[in-house]
Amino acid sequence: MAVNVDLSNVKVKYDIPHIVEKLKTKVKELQPSFISHNTDFKLINELKKKYDKFENIVLIGNGGSVTSFHAFHKAFSHKLKKRVFVVTTMQPEVISFVKEDFPPKNTLLIAISKSGNTVAVIEALLALQENNEYKCLVITSKQGALWQIAEKNKYLALEHPEIGGRFSGTSEVAYLPAALCGIDIKKIAESSEKLYNKFYNIDNRNTAAQTALALSSLEYNGVTEIFMPIYSAQLDGFGNLIVQLLHESVCKLGRGQTIYFSSAPESQHHTNQRFFGGRRNVAGMFLRTKDSENEVKLKISNKLQKVQLNDATLKILQGEKLSKALEYEFSGVYQNAIRKNIPVIDVSVDTADEKNLGELIAFWQLVAVYSALLRDVDPFDQPAVEASKQISFELRKNKR
């Protein structure tokens, strides 16, 4: 397994036979579109060649339209040559920044909206395309306003797959911009598909199902919050994706847990106070890479080795690997939680490469679906999200 999960420090019983049987029964009734979808890799390769000349990519979208791509891009941004900016707001300062910093002659605009009627996406696109200067393509439904805009302005339009935005990370929605950036999407697809093939096998080897069972049992026992420190700068982009998958899929009918994440070890300087000192309704779910692609060793000069550091000197840091130092930071928090009887889950991949991240995104998608089924809610709708969208649209119509 590329995704490693340690559930040994979840003290509540979660592998309860009748609950497992319930999940098996519910899974048999599903045929998730994100699993059955066949991505058009030939088309993606053609578009990659067509638009490869552009040095910059500006992606316009909200929520699931951009969170999966952002996770991939964040993981590989340190070694990609193209500049990427993701626009998730119509804030004037952001639009002005893009216009000033991303000139039309070497920038490709990509606007994504499953419905085609996401007003914020349309507003941002119209603001940037005031003079129709940028080369632009859209991914959207043929029934929405965005498709009509594309037709009238002669933008290339691709039909959005029949997949909910938050589950579209292994489709053209995330793969096309990722491929344009030079990310090896075939490796991502191959490893995610391997995990998808295990969707119906609810057993001890299905770590996504086991994780969902553990989270559900924790909630049943009063753990309503999950704190997720991310001990890898390359995995930071997965934070928003995981929050969206679990909140939108699970939190319905008064059920589901609040997930909040933070970059670590920075989180140790603020949210550790909440984790260890606040209400005992929280569990920890740590996300990290075990190994680093690069390594840095500390070299402490002779004149600094005697400098006092707590009850030791700087000499103890001589030759230390920074990857090992990061592991010490993680272990300090993890072991302290175990000592204080706070439930903790360790989710890790060996390295942040395409193979591991393909499995990681599939893992969280499956955790979200299983988690929703265990709480008897629909994994694929988000009714509470739509109401606020409608209110904001009414305000636009009435110009209040």
Same domain assignment for residues 233 and 361: yes
Residue 266 token pair: 């920075």
**Which pLDDT belongs to residue 294?**
87
Same domain assignment for residues 148 and 273: no
Specify if 393 maps to a domain.
no
What's the domain range around 335? 3-31+199-374
Same domain assignment for residues 210 and 353: yes
Same domain assignment for residues 209 and 72: no
Q: From CA 110, how far away is CA 49, in angstroms rounded?
A: 16
Q: What is the mean pLDDT of the chain?
A: 95
The residue from 184, 217, 239 where one domain ends is 184
pLDDT at 279 over 80: yes
Same domain assignment for residues 140 and 249: no
Same domain assignment for residues 132 and 223: no
The residue from 136, 154, 184 where one domain ends is 184
Same domain assignment for residues 18 and 52: no
**Which pLDDT belongs to residue 385?**
78
Specify if 306 maps to a domain.
yes
pLDDT at 400 over 60: no
| Whole-number percent of the chain with pLDDT over 90 | 91
Q: From CA 33, how far away is CA 380, in angstroms rounded?
A: 10
Specify if 39 maps to a domain.
yes
Q: Between 385 and 303, whose confidence is greater?
A: 303
Q: What is the per-residue pLDDT across 27-81, written as a single tens digit (0 to 9) for each?
A: 999 999 999 999 999 999 999 999 999 999 999 999 888 999 999 999 999 889 8
pLDDT at 173 over 90: yes
Query: Looking at residues 258-282, what average pLDDT do you find?
Result: 97
Q: What is the per-residue pLDDT across 179-231, written as a single tens digit (0 to 9) for each?
A: 999 999 999 999 999 999 999 999 999 999 999 999 999 999 999 999 999 99
pLDDT at 356 over 60: yes
The residue from 184, 217, 235 where one domain ends is 184
Residue 164 token pair: 């909910």
Specify if 250 maps to a domain.
yes
Q: Is 289 left (phi over 0), alpha (psi -120 to 50) or beta?
A: beta
Q: Which residues pair with 59 in a beta bridge?
A: 86, 110
**Which pLDDT belongs to residue 1?**
59
Residue 110 token pair: 């990509």
Same domain assignment for residues 16 and 149: no
74 vs 13, 42, 240, 241, 287, CA distance in Å?
Answer: 36, 25, 12, 12, 15
Specify if 141 maps to a domain.
yes
- The backbone torsions φ and ψ at residue 231, rounded to the nearest 5 degrees and listed phi first, read -90, 55
**Which pLDDT belongs to residue 81?**
85
Same domain assignment for residues 171 and 210: no
Same domain assignment for residues 166 and 277: no
Same domain assignment for residues 226 and 339: yes
- For the chain, state the CA radius of gyration: 23
User: How many structural domains comprise the chain?
Assistant: 2
368 vs 43, 51, 63, 216, 364, CA distance in Å?
Answer: 30, 34, 16, 11, 6
Beta strands (DSSP E) in 195-319 are 225-231, 258-263, 282-289, 308-309, 312-313
- Could you tell me which of 159, 163, 173, 86 has the C-alpha nearest to residue 116? 159
Q: What is the per-residue pLDDT across 289-307, written as a single tens digit (0 to 9) for each?
A: 998 888 999 999 999 999 9
Specify if 388 maps to a domain.
no
Specify if 282 maps to a domain.
yes
Same domain assignment for residues 312 and 267: yes
Query: Looking at residues 308-321, what average pLDDT do you find?
Result: 94
pLDDT at 390 over 90: no
Query: Looking at residues 281-295, what average pLDDT do you find?
Result: 94
CATH number of the domain that 119 lies in? 3.40.50.10490
Q: Between 143 and 389, whose confidence is greater?
A: 143
Specify if 219 maps to a domain.
yes
Non-local (6+) Cβ contacts of 167 within 8 A are: 32, 33, 34, 64, 245, 365, 380
Q: What is the per-residue pLDDT across 224-260, written as a single tens digit (0 to 9) for each?
A: 999 999 999 999 999 999 999 999 999 999 999 999 9
